[in-house]
Chains A and B, each alone.
Chain A
Amino acid sequence: MDDADAILQQLKQRLGTDLQYQQQTVDEILTLWVSKERIVPVIQYLKTEIPQSFKMLYDLFGIDERNRNRFNGLPMADFTVVYVLFSFEQNAFIRIKVALRGEYPSINSITSIFQNANWYEREVYDMFGIRFDGHPHLTRILMPLTWQGHPLRKEHPARATEMGPFRLTDEMQDREQESLRFKPEEWGLKEHGDDADYMFLNIGPQHPGTHGVLRIILQLDGENIVDSVTEIGFHHRGAEKMAERQSWHTYIPYTDRVDYLGGVMNNLAYLLAVEKLAGIEMPDRAMTIRVMLCELFRIASHLVWFGTFAQDLGQLSPVFYMFTDREKIFDIIEAICGGRMHPNWFRIGGVAQDLPNGWQQLVQYFVDYFPPKIREYEKMVIKNGLFKARTKGIGIYTLEEAIEWGVTGPGLRACGFEWDWRKKQPYSGYDRFDFDIPTAQNGDCFDRALVRVEEMRQSLRIVKQCLENMPAGDYKSSHPLTTPPLKKYTMQDIETLITHFLNVSWGPVIPAGEAMSCIEATKGANSYYCISDGNTAAYRVRIRTPSFPHMQMLTYISKGYTVGDLLSILGSIDFVLADIDR
């Protein structure tokens, strides 16, 4: 890539010997190792000084390298911290890696450069015990404050059976409860202002407005939000840790449950990365089937958002109509996949089965049925005066703020920025489809709603094109690493039988390497970064979800609004707790 070369030359000039190594990765993203001392200036340089700079901190995570099968030429490391930045002007990622030595190493924080590094660094600290010097509030974020150990370290057990039996004594319960008590001074919040005493209102983790186990602590002056603290982690199930214990194939069902409204869309993000590593070319039919299913799930997810958003604002009825329509989508999905919310239907190298006979009628019915329904809902909700009063001018952020905080998806497009990974970095054959990227201009709750409603129409267009132009051919690639391995190659001789047996019982061995996928999921950019060291299980899987940065922004965008507005803002973000906590 020429752009990447140009960047590399500039960086080499600028950094000299600080640039330790350039790593080749399967996904062809420029990957550079930088010395620990120089990380802050390098990130600063990439964000502000370089032409066509990398304005978005896309992801930040750690890797425990201690058990990894050694690889050629890479700097020695016990732990690695990886910074993934994105430049919209170049349409390119850059990956900066820092090698750390020692049991509990530390590194300088980049929170002064990127605001959204805050939660990411807390997560790395929580998961690996790596300290970030200069971080404003380095505490655990996903695990309970009382947790012993750091889960993503290799020595931390991955299964309950590896730990002793669990007993909750009274003292432990008291300790747990005490650790959940909110102490404003720990967060630098004052209980008394110049002319008012503040009230701290604890919203959640059980609250009808948060759509899941999310805790928001509001510092209130009357009903005005002075400041807030968002606590996540109640829905944390260790999806990344599980990847290290499951085979490449048996991890697929876990991805379904990350953004549980996105269904097979999660499979896609994971499999794209795995297929890159394995070097699998997909047949056209498999790609188109995947696109059709994904777009159906996008509509289903947006319907849930639309209904619950209206309900958050006190409109009781739309949610019933929309869930009924979502059922109609699930009818199709059930007929094709057998499952509903978590069909677990994509496989390495394709999909589980071919489309069933008569699938066209089902999809055709929905394609005809749905457009008038969208119009009806638009009239019912979007055009309602009270809905407008509750959402227009509320929760505004500008395009610059959105990029600074790592916002992707409809939230970014509502700021007037036409950015959709399906168009800009097409995957799974999206370049063959004809659809528009809806945008809006003001970046408030209302515009985010508008964008999503229009997205449903565009998704329906894609589904229609899938219906009309479904290519013939295989639903699965004939590559030897696909799962489950194709039976037709089995009964040739003992070798083919053994290969089949191993691929079924142990699962495929994915060649060593690193690859990241990036898809436009229902809520924004979703990425799986898979590291294989040539085993039947991933060495490390990093899941970059859109909801995590979006939720991090809540404190920033809800300041100065009222308690009622907070619900509009929460609803307009369209988050899924499992997508935040993983």
Chain B
Amino acid sequence: MTTEQILIVFGVLFVLLNIAAGLIWVERRMLALWQDRLGPNRAGPLGVLIVLADTLKLFFKEDWIPPFADKWVFILAPAIVVASVLMSFVIIPFAPGIVVADLNIGVIFFLAMSSIAVYSIVLGGWASNNKYALLGALRGASQMIAYEVFMGLSLMGVVMLSGSFNLGDIVAAQKNLWFVVTQPVGFVIFLIAGIAETHRLPFDIPEAESELIAGYHAEYSGMKFGMFFIGEYLGVTLISAMIVTLFFGGWLGPAFLPPLAWFAIKLFFFIGLFILLRASLPRPRYDQLIGYGWKIILPVVLANLLITGAVALWLRG
């Protein structure tokens, strides 16, 4: 391993964790903007230091493990979500040469990691030994397992067109035309599945505040809760990064800006979209979301796959 690689690893880790933490401030300020209020504006310029204040607060909160909880699983669960999401970032090409591991099975690796993230919800909810947490965990498990299927299938169109599982190759294949143009259905479904995977509003059904209070993490406090919190923002960043890489040409862009800047601009655009969705949409019911997935998304995504395959074959002659 060269020094450069080590630098990339730590650089990526550093930037990501800061983005995830910074998103606390970004999200609260943007929500406030759309909801005709101010949001956090006291600590530091424009309230940026709220991130620091929040983090410090979480660190100093009593790190309480309920006596009725399954102790070790309870501790393990929040770690899984952060670890699995961070691992997924390994395969993202942020710019030419800036990628932690240039895996030739990048897409598959991403899907595998997001499957592991399901465990954190299920184990967290189960180990809490709390009825609300249990309901949240059950909802989370069925929702994430269902939408993982559609997520995987929606990516296959892109894989067929580019002929590779490697994300670097997929970006390179979009040199002339972004895949969002040739794969609009795949993009929409990936976006929906991405929201469901990160269980953000409107699909925050596992933690639905007005129904389940906080769902699977109802019993968590202190930094363990903070891990779920950061995990969620990392998840948003990850899905946005994947959307950019798979459908919007990754770091590609006109030469007046460096590739990394193009990637960042696109990334923040989609993060903003996630926040806007949260500000505007109500949440469907749990069975409606699952039913919608299996009854509508699945046929559409399969049709998309068939048509893409046929066209790809026909183009190759």
Tell me whether A567 and B210 are in contact in the complex, defined as CB-CB below 8 angstroms, given that A201-B131, A389-B284, A389-B288 are known contacts.
yes
- Interchain CA distance A387-B281 in the complex, whole Å: 9
* Contact indicator B288/A209 (Cβ below 8 Å): no
Tell me the B184-224 residues at the A interface (CB within 8 Å): 201-202, 204-205, 208-213
Complex CA gap A209/B202 in Å reads 17
Residue numbers in B under 8 Å from A389 (CB-CB): 284-285, 288
Is A386 touching B201 in the complex (CB atoms < 8 A)? Answer: no
Instruction: Please indicate the chain B residues that have their CB under 8 angstroms from the CB of A310 in the complex.
Output: 282
A562 within 8 A of B: yes
At the interface, yes or no: A82 with Cβ under 8 Å from chain B? no
* A313 and B37 within 8 A (CB): no
Q: A324 to B201, Cβ gap below 8 A?
A: no
Q: Is the CB of B285 within 8 A of A320?
A: no
Please state if A563 and B279 are interface contacts (CB–CB under 8 Å): no
A197 touches B (CB below 8 Å): no
- Shortest Cβ gap from A444 to chain B (Å): 14
CB distance from A197 to the nearest CB of B (A): 13
Q: In the bound complex, how far is the Cα of B49 from the Cα of A252, in angstroms?
A: 49
Complex alpha-carbon distance, A199 and B135, angstroms:
10
Evaluate contact between B211 and A567: CB separation under 8 angstroms: yes
Interface size on A, residues (CB 8 A): 30
Interface residues of A in 152-211 (CB under 8 A from B): 199, 201-202, 207-209
Chain A 526-576 interface residues, beta-carbon cutoff 8 Å to B = 562-567
Q: Is A311 an interface residue (CB 8 A)?
A: yes
Which residue of the partner chain B has the closest CB to A320?
Answer: B35
Does A104 have its Cβ within 8 Å of any Cβ on chain B? no
Known: A386-B281, A389-B285. A316 touches B211 (CB 8 A): no
Task: Please indicate the chain B residues that have their CB under 8 angstroms from the CB of A564 in the complex.
Answer: 205, 208, 211, 285-286
A53 proximity list for chain B (CB < 8 A): none
Q: What 4 pairs between A and B have smallest CB-CB spacing?
A: A314-B283, A315-B282, A320-B35, A564-B285
7 pairs, CB–CB < 8 Å, chain A vs chain B: A313-B210, A314-B208, A324-B36, A387-B282, A563-B211, A564-B285, A567-B211
Residues B270-300 near A (CB distance < 8 A): 278-288
Number of interface residues of B (CB under 8 A): 30
Least CB distance, B84 to chain A, in whole angstroms: 26
A420 at the interface (CB under 8 A from B): no
Flag if B283 contacts A313 (CB, 8 Å): yes
Q: In chain B between 121 and 165, which residues have their CB closer than 8 angstroms to a CB of chain A?
A: 131-132, 135, 139
Q: Is the CB of A384 within 8 A of B282?
A: yes
Are A390 and B278 in contact, with the CB atoms below 8 A? no
Alpha-carbon gap, A23 to B249, bound state (A): 86
With A and B bound together, what is the CA distance between A351 and B78 in angstroms?
60
Docked CA distance A312–B285 (Å):
12
A133 contacts chain B at the CB level, 8 A cutoff: no
The CA-CA distance from A389 to B282 in the complex, in Å, is 10
Contacting pair B281 A565 (CB below 8 A): no
Known: A314-B209, A386-B202, A564-B211. 6 other contacts (CB 8 A): A223-B286, A314-B201, A314-B281, A316-B31, A562-B287, A566-B211
Q: Is there contact, CB below 8 Å, between A386 and B280?
A: no
Q: Is B64 an interface residue (CB 8 A)?
A: no
Task: Report how far A389 CA is from B278 CA in the complex, Å.
Answer: 18
How many residue pairs at the A-B interface have CB separations less than 8 Å?
A: 82
Roughly how many angstroms separate A313 CA and B281 CA in the complex, as a whole number?
Answer: 9
Q: Does B269 contact A (CB under 8 A)?
A: no
- Interface: A359 (CB within 8 A): no
Contact A315 B281, CB 8 Å, known A208-B210, A209-B211, A321-B36 = yes
Q: How far is the CA of A208 from the CA of B132 in the complex (A)?
A: 13
Question: With the chains together, A389 CA to B135 CA distance in Å?
Answer: 21
A553 and B187 CA atoms in complex are apart in Å by: 46
A320 adjacent to B37 (CB under 8 Å): yes
Chain B proximity mask over A364-405: 1 for CB below 8 Å, otherwise 0: 000000000000000001001011011000000000000000
Nearest CB of chain A from residue B68's CB, rounded to whole Å: 15
Select which of A207, A208, A313, A321 is within 8 A of B282 by beta carbon: A313
Q: Is B34 an interface residue (CB 8 A)?
A: yes
Residues of B within 8 A of A209 (CB): 210-211
Chain B min CB distance to A476 (Å): 40
Q: Which residues of A contact B36 (CB under 8 A)?
A: 320-321, 324
What is the distance, in angstroms, from B207's C-beta to the closest C-beta of chain A? 11
Within 8 A of B (CB), among A318-338: 320-321, 324
Q: Are B284 and A321 in contact (CB under 8 A)?
A: no
Question: Is A69's beta carbon under 8 Å from chain B?
Answer: no
Residue A317 interfacial (CB < 8 Å):
yes
Contact partners of B212 in chain A: CB under 8 A: 563
Bound-state CA distance A313–B284 (Å) is 8
**A314 in contact with B202 given A208-B210, A390-B282, A562-B287 (CB within 8 Å):** yes
B210 in complex: contacting residue of A311, A317, A320, CB < 8 Å: A311
Asked if B35 and A312 sit within 8 Å, CB to CB, the answer is: no
Most buried by B among A202, A310, A315, A566: A315
Cross-chain contact of B286 among A202, A208, A316, A562 (Cβ < 8 A): A562
- Please measure, in the bound complex, the distance between the C-alpha atom of A421 and the C-alpha atom of B278, giving whole angstroms: 41
Give the residue name and chain of the A residue nearest to B209 (CB): A208
In the bound complex, CA of A258 to CA of B109 (Å): 60
Within 8 A of A (CB), among B24-77: 31, 34-37
Give A229 Cβ to nearest chain B Cβ, in Å: 16
| B281 and A384 form a contact (CB under 8 A) | yes
Instruction: Please report the C-alpha to C-alpha distance between residue A194 and residue B36 in the assembled complex, in whole angstroms.
Output: 53
Which residues of A have CB within 8 Å of B34?
317
Residues of B within 8 A of A208 (CB): 209-210, 213
Chain B CB within 10 Å, residue with most, of A199, A311, A313, A314: A314
Query: In the assembled complex, how far is the CB of residue B281 from the closest CB belonging to chain A, in whole angstroms?
Result: 6
In the bound complex, CA of A381 to CA of B210 (Å):
17
Closest A residue to B278 using CB positions: A316
Q: How far is the CA of A566 from the CA of B35 in the complex (A)?
A: 27
A381 to B282 CA separation, bound complex (whole angstroms): 9
B279 & A314 in contact (Cβ 8 Å cutoff): no
